[in-house]
Structure 1
Amino acid sequence: MAKANEVQFVAPHPSRRDRFAEMTGMKEPCTITVRNPIRTRTKGYGTQKRLKSAREISISQAGEKNKGMRFCKVAGHSLRTCKLYIANLKEKESSASLGVDNIQV
């Protein structure tokens, strides 16, 4: 018993919160509760385009010019699908191959 009385009990180390409370002199517990933040929607989420009236649509279309394709000046298709352009390419290839054959002969 004598030895047990001599040995001092080692108390657990104070937590960080307790040490900072001693340094700042603020020993009462904080009652602030931290909650999850409210999620905000991204910029483009759920936005719909405005419905235009028939009059507004016709006004906006009247100002637009239909651009044609650069080769045949007709709108509605691209260079890859243009029949005139494809025919012209085939004609050039055939004339070029004929010209090369004539030079070699």
Structure 2
Amino acid sequence: MAADASQLDRLFEVIAARKGADPASSYTARLFSKGVQACAQKLGEEAVETVIAAASGDRESALSESADLLYHWLVLIAALDLEPGQVYAELARREGRSGLDEKAARTER
């Protein structure tokens, strides 16, 4: 199996299939059972762990924590009834636009 970004879509399908499953049978189902706020908090924890690993120069830990971060991001967007394709579309909408211009446009909303 190729290692590329399509793995995110496959992982999302597995994650979404766990919605409504028995929390005793699946870590993902357990996260969903705790609600969006808990899923968001877990994503934040993983983001902090990723930052700490990167800031300390620990490439192996940063790699592992990055994978955890992406997994928990997918859980959160599934909990919000979003799909990766919607995020990809938002990124495509922003493509070719200066990051400074994009930030300025968001503060104007």
Question: Is the structural similarity TM-score above 0.5?
Answer: no
Normalised by the size of structure 1, how large is the TM-score?
Answer: 0.25
Select the structure that is richer in helix.
2
Normalised by the size of structure 2, how large is the TM-score?
Answer: 0.24
